[in-house]
């Protein structure tokens, strides 16, 4: 084939670093996302395997150059770039923050869920098929205090609703 006869211009990709919680523990990885797509939309897309590069898996010193991560193995994603595009369907309009707790296989994730004013948290969650965005989170083991030294603080957590046991409103509890 003559050079230049078939020109596919791939979409401009930006790199987005994240920590990913799976059944194996925490991965550190880089996603390659189309320039104008949000991280939530990228992760929610229909494919079963999400490509990531420079992946560090638990217990291994060196990073793997590439790994295809099964979408349904992801429990939560913590974006590690301050400027990450994170917009969610429910976030357009006037919202109110609700304190919620997500029951994860390995612990309790408490954080703030933004829900449209006049929508109940339970109704909002019922309409979320995939990822829910929580802000200002703390992940603790069951029975651990939220301010425990082992608590992990996450500025933003994208929680895979298909992988958690449940969500509870956590109002009026010390966070």
CATH code, domain with 56: 2.30.30
Strand partners, 49: 70
Strand partners, 130: none
Asked whether residue 84 is domain-assigned, the answer is no
Q: For residue 155, what are the domain limits?
A: 89-169
> In whole numbers, what is the pLDDT of the chain averaged over residues?
86
The DSSP letter of residue 120 is: -
Tell me which of 91 and 63 has the higher pLDDT. 63
| Domain closes at, from 79, 101, 135 | 79
Q: Which range is least confidently modeled, 19-23, 79-83, 89-93, 142-146?
A: 89-93
Mean pLDDT of 28-32: 95
pLDDT category at 90 given cuts 50, 70, 90 is: very low
pTM for the whole thing? 0.85
**Which is nearest to 20 in space by CA: 118, 112, 131, 126?**
131
Report how many domains make up the chain.
2
Q: Which range is least confidently modeled, 7-16, 22-31, 74-83, 137-146?
A: 7-16
> Could you give the CA distance from residue 16 to residue 64 in angstroms, rounded to a whole number?
16
pLDDT category at 125 given cuts 50, 70, 90 is: confident
Mean pLDDT of 41-70: 91
| Domain closes at, from 79, 102, 131 | 79
Strand partners, 78: 19
Q: Are residues 61 and 113 in the same domain?
A: no
∠148-81-170 over CA atoms, to 5°?
40
Residue 28's pLDDT is 96
Per-residue pLDDT for 113 more than 80?
A: yes
Asked whether residue 58 is domain-assigned, the answer is yes
In this prediction, what percent of the chain has a pLDDT beyond 70?
86
């Amino acid at each position: 084939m003559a050079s230049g006869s078939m020109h596919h211009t791939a979409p401009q990709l930006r790199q987005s670093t994240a920590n990913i919680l799976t059944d194996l523990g925490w991965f550190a990885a880089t996603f390659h996302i189309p320039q104008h797509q949000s991280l939530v939309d990228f992760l929610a897309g229909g494919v079963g395997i999400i490509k990531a590069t420079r992946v560090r898996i638990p217990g291994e010193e060196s990073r793997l150059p590439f790994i295809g991560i099964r979408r349904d193995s992801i429990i939560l994603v913590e974006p590690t770039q301050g400027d990450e595009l994170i917009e969610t369907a429910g976030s357009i309009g006037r919202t109110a923050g609700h304190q919620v707790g997500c029951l994860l296989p390995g612990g309790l994730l408490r954080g703030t869920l933004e829900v449209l004013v006049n929508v109940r948290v339970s109704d909002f969650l019922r309409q979320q098929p995939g990822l829910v965005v929580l802000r200002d989170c703390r992940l603790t083991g069951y029975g651990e205090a939220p301010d425990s030294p082992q608590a992990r603080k996450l500025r933003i957590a994208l929680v895979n609703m298909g992988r958690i046991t449940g969500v509870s409103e956590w109002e009026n509890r010390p966070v």
